[in-house]
Amino acid sequence: MHKQWKIWVGFAISVAAIVYVVRGVHWDEVGWSLRRADLGLLMFVFVVNPVINVVMRAIRWKILLKPYGNVPLAGCVSATAIGLMANNVLPVRIGEFVRAYALSRRERVPTGTALGSMFVERMLDGFALLTILFFLTLSFPFPDWVDTVVRVTLYIFVGVFIFQAVLAFHPQAFIRASKWLTRNLFGGRFEESIERVLVTFADGFQLLRRPVLVVLSFVLAFVQWVLISSVYVLGLEAFELGRVGWIGAFFTSCVATLGVAAPSAPGFVGTYQALIVKSLEVFAVDRTTAFSFSAGFHAVTWLGVTLLGFYFFFREGLSWRAIEQSDEEMGKELEAEYEAVIEPEIEASDR
């Protein structure tokens, strides 16, 4: 069970974001804007957004799992849809655990491999989004805060990449260094738990040892986020905000996607609206209009992905209790994998 403090932190951030974003909003104009939205365009967004989100991500995941074996695309699609749905309805981004759990349950992919591959996926997502933002900064005079955000985010993802690469190429050296640090800084209290996390995730980082697959995965990530940003173009047009153009749509998409990685309430409520409003302010969109778009577009995209996830959830015969406890189940599976496979290998290498 997730610790309660994680849930409360997420809700607190969402509440703070909502308080920030609703200041100065004229609610009568919000209702008017929602009623005037182009339903035809929104229905197209409702259909195409979950297809892009789920299918493109599943194709990439299949490639990321290639070092492990030829995992069927159908299994990746099903698990991805279920995981995204869980992120939309459950707290603290439990969908990441749910996604790995659903795949390992169906395809018998080792838990550590599934989780590690998703860390690589998220890293490639970050680099793809930053690449799009970089090209946008060459085409539009953004305020200084945008450059700061891009730089700080780039440093974070470079650090993540270095961590994953070292663990993929030199796992034993990295584990020994981490054990030395924990002994000297914490008296060895976290030595065993840190070692288990590192070695069980290391298999999922093996893609980094195959440069061709890394490049292919990055290209597909870039294509995925270009397509998703294009959906934002349609969404903005549906709310009569086509004047912000593709630069505004792509910028808003990238900022919102990077920003919702922070803790929040289920479905990123509040944080998503605040990020959209802040992004559209750059293009002189007033707060009421920007909030109307954020609420309507978010509802359409949330519903499409969630319904698709529920379809696969029921088709796979999963129980809601198992979904809610997936993080505990994953922990048990990681423990079993460590004791049965990885711990004996480490002891053998030490001898």
Residue with more model confidence, 243 or 177: 243
Does residue 72 contact residue 305 with C-beta atoms inside 8 Å? no
25, amino acid identity? V
Mean pLDDT of 158-181: 77
258, amino acid identity? L
Does residue 217 contact residue 64 with C-beta atoms inside 8 Å? yes
Does residue 82 contact residue 99 with C-beta atoms inside 8 Å? yes
pLDDT in tens, 13-40: 999 999 999 998 999 999 999 999 999 9
What's residue 206's pLDDT?
Answer: 74
Query: In the chain, which ranges are E strands?
Result: none
The residues, any chain, with a CB within 8 Å of residue 218's CB and separated by 6 or more, are 124, 127, 128
pLDDT in tens, 83-142: 999 999 988 778 888 888 888 888 878 777 788 888 889 999 999 999 999 999 999 999
Mean pLDDT of 254-276: 92
The interaxial angle of helices 287-315 and 27-36, nearest 10 deg, is 60
Mean pLDDT of 253-263: 91
Report DSSP state, residue 341: I
Residue 53 binned pLDDT confidence (cut-offs 50, 70, 90):
very high
Domain boundaries defined on the chain? 4-350
